Amino acid sequence: MSIAIIVGSAAINGNTEQLCANVAAQTPATIFNLNDYHIKQFDYQFNNQDDDFITLIKEILSHDKIIFASPVYWYSASGIMKTFIDRLSDLLKVNKPLGYQLKNKINALIATGCDGSPALCFEQAFELTAQYLGMNYQGMLYCCCPDEFELDLHQTKISDFIRGLNVN
C-alpha cells in the first residue's frame, strides 16, 4: 500500500511538514509539497489547464491512500491547500476519468495548529469533500504545536494514526 501525503503550508519545513516527514519515515509514503507546484485558482471556464494540477493529480492517483496535510489557518485549511481542493472540481467536469479514480480511495488528514484541538469545521470540510468524491475518510491526526514541533509530545498520536492506516 502506497500513500500520497499532500502538504499545503505557507511555512517551509514548518510544523505540518515536519509531522508529515515523520509519518512518511514510518510508512510507504511519498510527500507532495504544494509549494513545489504551480497550481492556478479554479475558474469556471477551465482556462487554468496549463498549470501543474493534472500532472500532480496523476502522480497522486498512483497511490492507494491520499492524505491531505495542512496547518489550521483561521479555522480552515491553508490557502494553497484550499486552491488544490478547489481544483478537484476540474476532475468532476473536464477530467472525469481522473475524478473516477478518487472513488473508494482511502483518505485521511494531518494537521497542526496552536489550539488544543481544531474547530470542528476544519476537519468537517475535508471529511465532506472526501464523502462527496466517494473516498473513504479515515480520520485526522492533529498535533497542537504552539511553538515548534516536538516529536516526543506527539509520538503516541502519530503511532495510533499510522496503525489506523493499516499500512502493514
* Tens-digit pLDDT profile for residues 11-66: 989 999 999 999 999 999 999 999 999 999 999 999 999 999 999 999 999 999 99
User: In the predicted model, is pLDDT for residue 97 greater than 70?
Assistant: yes
Indicate the pTM of the whole model.
Answer: 0.96
For 150, residues 6+ apart whose C-beta sits below 8 A from its C-beta are none
Contact 32, 41 (CB under 8 A): no
CATH 3.40.50.1390 fits 3-164, yes or no: no
How does DSSP classify residue 72? -
Task: Report d(CA 39, CA 55) in Å as an integer.
Answer: 10
- Nine cell digits for residue 93: 467536469
Q: What is residue 60's predicted lDDT score, i.e. its pLDDT?
A: 98
Angle (CA) 5 8 13, round 5°: 90
How does DSSP classify residue 41? P
Contact 9, 25 (CB under 8 A): no
